[in-house]
Chains A and B, each alone.
Chain A
Amino acid sequence: MFWQWWRKATQLTHQASDEDIIYPEVKGTVTRESIEEALRDSDDALIKELTSNGEKVVLVYLRSMVKKEILQETVFDPLDRRGDQHPLAVLRLAEPVADDQLPKVLHMITSGRTILLFMERNLILSVDTFSTNQRNVTAPESESTVLGPQDGFTESLDTNLGLIRMRIHSPHLKVKQLFMGTETRNSLVVVYMENLANPENVQRVIQRLKNIEFSGNYGLAVIQQMIEDKPYSPFPQFGLTTRPDNAVAALLDARILIMAEGSPEVSICPATFFEMFASPEDYYNRWWTASLLRFVRFGGLFVTTLLTSAYVAVLTYHPEMLPPQLLTILAESRGKVPFPPVIEVIIIEMVIEILREAGARMPTKIGQTIGIVGGIVIGTAVVEAGLASNIVIVLVSVTALLSFLPPNYLMSNAVRLVRYYFILAAGLLGVYGQMLVLAFLFAHLLNLTSLGSPYMTPVVPRRWTDMANSIIRAPMLFQVARMGMSRARKYLSRPLDEE
């Protein structure tokens, strides 16, 4: 019963083509009446009549998407100064549209263009007048670096493409546009280097994007979840970045980018597990420091998943594993605590999770207060009241700090989730339980793929050269090849020999 309903609900009803998705339900010829009919009850739609050189012109645009100054400059002024010239001669940016394409015309209006109907000539022109207020290019907040470029993607697709084009002046950079969303009909682009990217991968991305059917997107991270290989996994299988330098590095490594209108994030596919722990700053640093930092981030993954659960396991099942001095300290610290270790740890972990969530949703000023109240006041009070031991507070804070190390926000969330499995398993079966969960985790990660390439490269490598840019960041001298994961058309990234 349920499965039948689920299959029916998730079945693809039809394969929509690019043209189809633009108002497939509206049919008819473009006339003043048909446009009025389609736009009725949209009070920001303006339909104006004016005369230019004795000719009647009907003007249609959305007030909310077009600024008056732009309209004045691009439409009114040329029409006024036109004399007896043909409209196309003065409206340089205008494009003629056939009169049977009502859906296309409506899409143009709703995406901020102005439509001019020259009633006597049977001529329809569309002028790009789109001009709404937009955020300026600012430094990305979620992926800030000390060195390197300080610009970040914004919500405007054209700006974002410009930021990439600014760095890659090459005709090989291809931008394939798709229209997505049965209701929103906004555009989404797939960007790749034609001479590098694996054509099969490009095809696969485009095919997957075309296969999804949904009413509209409000963020690229949502679309990303629809086209990932294993949607039930807690781990993100595509990279997500807000930095142009990161995106360009990915393009040069033969990856494919997905960008959407209204999203400051850019999706990188395919991506590996290890890249989630790499920051663009690694390349601006010297290789020694960069390798150390990468190692810390990656080692942090193990510590953050194993530390608190090891506390639970050792105290519950194997106290004899600790040297006597350490055991004495722990016993003293836990003297007043009434709960078993597993409950104690889970409570404190949850408190930290709550503080983080509360701090993230509050305005900055209140958020700081929450941090101080939560961290210092509640922390001290809990220990003094005997609800948790000092050591648990220390361990949980360390694991919380470590879980924020991965530059990829989605990955850091996944790591925090996984930690709870370890704690529960340690509470049930001690160190043995921990290792079983670890084995399960590894098996899961080994099973994951990103666009069909194994996610855990280079641990289970495709190529040995991948090692130069994984847990360590080798000197630039040794980084001669593209990652095996991206299956690039050109294997070497530097012309070392004739390939």
Chain B
Amino acid sequence: MDKGRFRKLNRYHVIFLVHQSMAGAAVLSLPHALSPVGYNQWWVVLLMGVIAQVTLLPIYWLCIRYPDDDLFAIHRKLLGTWLGQLLNIVLISYLIVSVSAVLMSYVRLVQSVTLPNRSIELPLFALYIVLIYVVLGGIKSIARFSILAFFFVAWTAYYLQWGFFKGTLSHLFPMFGVSYKNILLALDNGYVNMLGYELLLFYFPYIVHQRKTLTDATIGLWSLMLFYWAISFVSVVYFSEWQLEHLTYPILNLFKAVELTFIERIENIGIALWSFLVIATVAVYTWAAKKGVDSLFLGNRTWHLYLVAIVSYALVILPLPTQFKDSLFYEWGADAGYLVILWPIILLVIHYIRKPKGRSI
């Protein structure tokens, strides 16, 4: 785990961290989430990219003013110890809920597709073991894992070609015939896929070339947008509007379109491979949550990580009402994420109002 606060993330690490912390399990249902705009979703995706780019700016501005502090420390500095710690607790619970949300939706999918006769506990437990091991190595280990996961999974984009050639290109037209209300609805549903770049607020103190972070994060963001765009483009071509609206995991059906002579039902492998992406995503959240517990107790202890893991595991496993879980993970979790993304703007305002003494920036 990270002993001492060394600057250790180089520019590649930042690019892939941004890229991989966004690509989680939610991508599997991206075309479904954007279905309110129907066939127009292939350009609405790019709109999400633009929004992310714009909201990235205040995050970067806040970070660059506090180069040695993560969001938890910034809270304490700007809002005072009591209010800051209180907010940190809320923030930690957001991070933990995000971890649970991603893992639950992924493991449920694994269960329904590849392991229909198994209960959810063991697959989830195995996933947590790997997750804890990756996080134990510290942020640099997570970044390295992200790089590897990217190259390990990115080649599956090749499989999109089957969907593209089997589909109908005329689905792309007419363009732009969609109401603003539907666009907003689609953005609200689909923007969950963009959550992840706000984690920059937590690992920023570990970056070596902090001034170049904005460029690196932008590269990471738009390289991911390229994948999102390809997925939604092929989905538009391949599926009918009814399918987009009613298939929960359209990516799986895209996998089903793949025809190889020696193997069938390629989605089994696809789903299993996705675990790399999921682990890379969740590892950053878990790491950030662990850092939060550290800052709460003012000490770097390994058991803080186990605490985070146990709480998030329990959130998934505990026999809470399904409705409550779903609204906690998918509605409140997403809304909290949107809030965290916008939060730096408010912090920046507070920063300028009570400008700490002796600070030149």
Whether A174 is near chain B, meaning CB under 8 Å from some CB there, is no
- B contact residues around A447 at 8 Å (CB): 137, 141
- B contact residues around A460 at 8 Å (CB): 144, 147-148
Chain A nearest CB, measured from B118 CB (Å): 8
Rounded to whole angstroms, the CA-CA distance of A431 and B113 in the bound complex is 11
Q: What are the interface flags for B134-159 relative to A under an 8 Å C-beta threshold, 1 for contact and 0 otherwise?
A: 10010001001101110010000000
When the two chains form their complex, are residues B264 and A321 in contact, meaning their CB atoms are under 8 A apart?
Answer: yes
When the two chains form their complex, are residues B115 and A442 in contact, meaning their CB atoms are under 8 A apart?
Answer: no
Mark the stretch among A56-64, A242-250, A432-440 that contacts chain B: A432-440
Rounded to whole angstroms, the CA-CA distance of A447 and B264 in the bound complex is 35
Beyond A431-B114, A435-B272, is A443–B264 a contact (Cβ under 8 Å)? no
- B contact residues around A429 at 8 Å (CB): 115, 118, 122-123, 126
Mark the stretch among B176-184, B273-281, B350-358 that contacts chain A: B273-281
- B contact residues around A495 at 8 Å (CB): none
- B contact residues around A443 at 8 Å (CB): 130, 133-134, 137, 141, 145
Q: Which residue of B lies closest to A321 (CB)?
A: B265
Rounded to whole angstroms, the CA-CA distance of A396 and B273 in the bound complex is 24
When the two chains form their complex, are residues A430 and B114 in contact, meaning their CB atoms are under 8 A apart?
Answer: yes
Whether B234 is near chain A, meaning CB under 8 Å from some CB there, is no
When the two chains form their complex, are residues B127 and A436 in contact, meaning their CB atoms are under 8 A apart?
Answer: yes
Rounded to whole angstroms, the CA-CA distance of A439 and B279 in the bound complex is 9
Rounded to whole angstroms, the CA-CA distance of A323 and B266 in the bound complex is 11
When the two chains form their complex, are residues B276 and A318 in contact, meaning their CB atoms are under 8 A apart?
Answer: no
Rounded to whole angstroms, the CA-CA distance of A456 and B122 in the bound complex is 30
Rounded to whole angstroms, the CA-CA distance of A71 and B328 in the bound complex is 89
When the two chains form their complex, are residues A322 and B147 in contact, meaning their CB atoms are under 8 A apart?
Answer: no
Whether B268 is near chain A, meaning CB under 8 Å from some CB there, is yes
When the two chains form their complex, are residues A431 and B272 in contact, meaning their CB atoms are under 8 A apart?
Answer: yes
Whether A459 is near chain B, meaning CB under 8 Å from some CB there, is yes
Q: Is the contact region of chain B dominated by helix, strand, or loop, or is it mixed?
A: helix
* Contacts between the two chains (Cβ within 8 Å), count: 87
Q: Which residue of B lies closest to A454 (CB)?
A: B144
Beyond A429-B123, A432-B275, A439-B275, is A321–B130 a contact (Cβ under 8 Å)? no
When the two chains form their complex, are residues B129 and A439 in contact, meaning their CB atoms are under 8 A apart?
Answer: no
- A contact residues around B226 at 8 Å (CB): none
Rounded to whole angstroms, the CA-CA distance of A429 and B276 in the bound complex is 16
- B contact residues around A435 at 8 Å (CB): 272-273, 275-276
Whether B262 is near chain A, meaning CB under 8 Å from some CB there, is yes
Q: Which residue of B lies closest to A320 (CB)?
A: B265
- A contact residues around B144 at 8 Å (CB): 446, 454, 456, 460
8 A Cβ contacts from A416-437 to B:
425, 428-436
- A contact residues around B110 at 8 Å (CB): 432
Beyond A431-B272, A435-B272, is A440–B129 a contact (Cβ under 8 Å)? yes
Q: Which residue of B115, B133, B261, B271 contacts A323 across the interface (Cβ within 8 Å)?
A: B261
- A contact residues around B275 at 8 Å (CB): 432, 435-436, 439
Q: What are the interface flags for A441-463 relative to B under an 8 Å C-beta threshold, 1 for contact and 0 otherwise?
A: 01110110000001010011000
Q: Which residue of A lies closest to B148 (CB)?
A: A442
- A contact residues around B122 at 8 Å (CB): 428-429
Chain A nearest CB, measured from B7 CB (Å): 17
Rounded to whole angstroms, the CA-CA distance of A456 and B137 in the bound complex is 15
Rounded to whole angstroms, the CA-CA distance of A180 and B110 in the bound complex is 55
- A contact residues around B54 at 8 Å (CB): none
Whether A317 is near chain B, meaning CB under 8 Å from some CB there, is yes
- A contact residues around B126 at 8 Å (CB): 425, 428-429, 433, 436
Beyond A428-B122, A431-B114, A436-B275, is A442–B145 a contact (Cβ under 8 Å)? yes
Chain A nearest CB, measured from B255 CB (Å): 12
Rounded to whole angstroms, the CA-CA distance of A439 and B130 in the bound complex is 7
When the two chains form their complex, are residues B115 and A317 in contact, meaning their CB atoms are under 8 A apart?
Answer: yes
Rounded to whole angstroms, the CA-CA distance of A322 and B271 in the bound complex is 17
8 A Cβ contacts from A286-342 to B:
317-318, 320-323, 326
Q: What are the interface flags for B293-317 relative to A under an 8 Å C-beta threshold, 1 for contact and 0 otherwise?
A: 0000000000000000000000000
- B contact residues around A446 at 8 Å (CB): 137, 141, 144-145, 148
Knowing that A321-B265, A429-B118, A432-B275 are A-B contacts, what are 17 other residue pairs whose CB atoms are under 8 Å apart, sorted by A's residue number? Answer: A321-B264, A322-B264, A323-B261, A429-B126, A430-B115, A430-B268, A431-B269, A431-B272, A435-B272, A435-B275, A436-B275, A439-B275, A443-B134, A443-B141, A443-B145, A447-B137, A447-B141
A-B pairs with the 7 shortest C-beta distances?
A435-B272, A431-B272, A446-B144, A443-B134, A432-B272, A447-B137, A321-B265
